[in-house]
Amino acid sequence: MKKIVHDLLKEELYYDKLENGLELFYMPKKGFSKQYAVFSTRYGSNDLEFIPVGQKERIRVNEGIAHFLEHKVFEQPDGTNAFDKFSKYGASANAYTNFTTTSYLFSSTDNFYDSLAHLVDYVQHPHFTDENVEKEKGIIAQEIKMYDDNPDWKVYFNTLKAMYIKHPINIDIAGTVESIYKITKEELYDCYNTFYNPYNMSIFVVGDLDFDKIKETVIDNLRTDIPVIENIERFYPVEPDGVNMKEIVETLDVSLPLFNIGFKDIQIGLSGRELLKREITTDLIIDMLFKKGSEFYKELYNDNLVNDSFSGDYTGRYDHGYTLIGGESKDPYEVKDRLFNYIEKIKEDGFKEEQFEIIKKRYLGGYLKYFDSLDFIANNFISYHFKDINLLDYIDVVKEITIDDIKNRFVEHFTKDNTVISIVNPKE
């Protein structure tokens, strides 16, 4: 067992790697009545090509299978649903799948250890049959159609499609109606047995609890018949530097056009602390230049070109990264033109050191407040951990960033060559 103490945050983190490879983390929060646990696997919608456990040949599975698998894990061999027992314990449970991770979680104020035992147990006992797989296809097909009619989702996902040529991030997490109807129980078991291996998984717990009892509960409910797989062979296509297409425009039921301007990262391959530094540096740039209260935002707002929906955000991982700036506007193309004029102005005039220091201090203060939210701690810890980043390092990396880091990242990332625009216009 290891113990990490962060003096400035006044937080402790306990860590243990169990014999089967499962990583167990616990952050004590004395005096908190709420407890939170998340059981996650390094497996998401991007993992389409791999060598299944016990096999020698590389396969490609159907798009959307990671999300499909998440749905099916809740269905138990005795015909019950995993949610039922959480309700009995008074716990609130959920799950999610993104491009790189699948997580199962619950929060509680009572019966925590019973709920934790249930979480560990049900995630390890999948039950797939031809009948229940076919039944699920109709449910997920309806979910996919619902997202196809969601303007916010469409404008976001079309930005990814415009930016990425080969990377599977340009494929919808839920897949397509056509792809999910091809999924079989055998394919689900191939994915489950490969990626839901303890060596590929982590549990994070936060609350006013006892680490020894957490560990005992987890060990008592772990399957002992799963072979340890230290390395999963995954395959991803090599993404070219350019963008797929400069713009995608659709029409849906919206009152004002929705838009996203996307900046694709060309220089990738960072991990750990370096990746975290890039993320924070880019977020600081977005905060200084484009978010509410910035000079650029006020100019657009006063000219009635944007409203309160205007925002910016950065997402980065080892093999991809992108900035999105968007919202609602009567003229997205005018916003784009002004955005690039502003970018060129900043490249000529430079950044204001005083503004940089103010934003940096605000980031540090805001980060400290986040540690009052157990949901934030748990889900962000897992997200960062799967990028080989310790969440507790965040505040130290913020303090390290200089104005020169900001300047260099701005010139490198915010260019016309790596830019796309996605627009959802109102129907006539």
The CATH superfamily holding the domain 2-235 is Metalloenzyme, LuxS/M16 peptidase-like (3.30.830.10)
Nearest-Å Rg of the Cα atoms of the chain is 23
Written as six digits, the tokens of 253 are: 């039921």
pLDDT at 271 over 90: yes
Tokens of 425: 């216009």
Tokens 């900046």 appear where?
263
* Average pLDDT of the residues of the chain: 95
Whole-number pLDDT of residue 228: 83
In this predicted structure, the answer to whether residue 78 has a pLDDT above a threshold of 90 is: no
- On the question of pLDDT at 77 being above 90, the answer is no
pLDDT in tens, 322-371: 999 999 999 999 999 999 999 999 999 999 999 999 999 998 988 989 99
State how far the Cα of 107 lies from the Cα of 109, in Å rounded to an integer. 7
* CA dist., res. 186 & res. 129, Å (int): 9
**376-393: average pLDDT:** 95
Instruction: pLDDT band for 259, please (50, 70, 90 cuts).
Output: very high
Confidence of residue 8 (pLDDT cuts 50, 70, 90): confident
Is the pLDDT confidence value at 79 over 90?
no
Question: Could you tell me which CATH number the domain at 247-426 has?
Answer: 3.30.830.10
Rounded to whole angstroms, how far apart are CA atoms 305 and 334? Answer: 8
Is 70 known to be catalytic? yes
Q: Domain residues of the chain, as ranges?
A: 2-235, 247-426
Q: What percent of the chain has pLDDT over 90?
A: 93
For residue 94, list its beta bridge partners: 105
**Confidence band of 80 (pLDDT split at 50, 70, 90):** confident
Candidate list 23, 57, 63, 70, residue with the active-site label: 70
Q: Is the pLDDT of residue 187 over 90?
A: yes
> Is residue 76 predicted with pLDDT exceeding 90?
no
Residue 195 burial (C-beta neighbours within 10 Å; 0-12, 13-18, 19+): buried
Mean pLDDT for 369-379 is: 93
Q: What is the mean pLDDT of residues 16-42?
A: 97
Q: What is the pLDDT of residue 377?
A: 96
Higher pLDDT, 119 or 1: 119
pLDDT of residue 162: 98
The pLDDT value given to residue 330: 97
| CATH fold match for the domains 2-235 and 247-426 | yes
The model carries a pTM of 0.95
Q: What is the mean pLDDT of residues 145-172?
A: 96
Q: What is the mean pLDDT of residues 200-206?
A: 98
pLDDT of residue 342: 97
What pLDDT, on the 0 to 100 scale, is given for residue 94? 97
Name the pLDDT band for 83 (thresholds 50, 70, 90).
very high
Nearest alpha-carbon partner for 102 in 59, 45, 177, 48? 45
Question: What pLDDT, on the 0 to 100 scale, is given for residue 9?
Answer: 87
The whole-number average pLDDT for the span 244-254 is: 97
Question: How far apart, in whole angstroms, are the C-alpha atoms of residue 275 and residue 218?
Answer: 31
pLDDT at 227: 82
Q: Is the pLDDT of residue 257 over 90?
A: yes
Digit-coded pLDDT (tens) for 286-310: 999 998 889 999 999 999 999 999 9
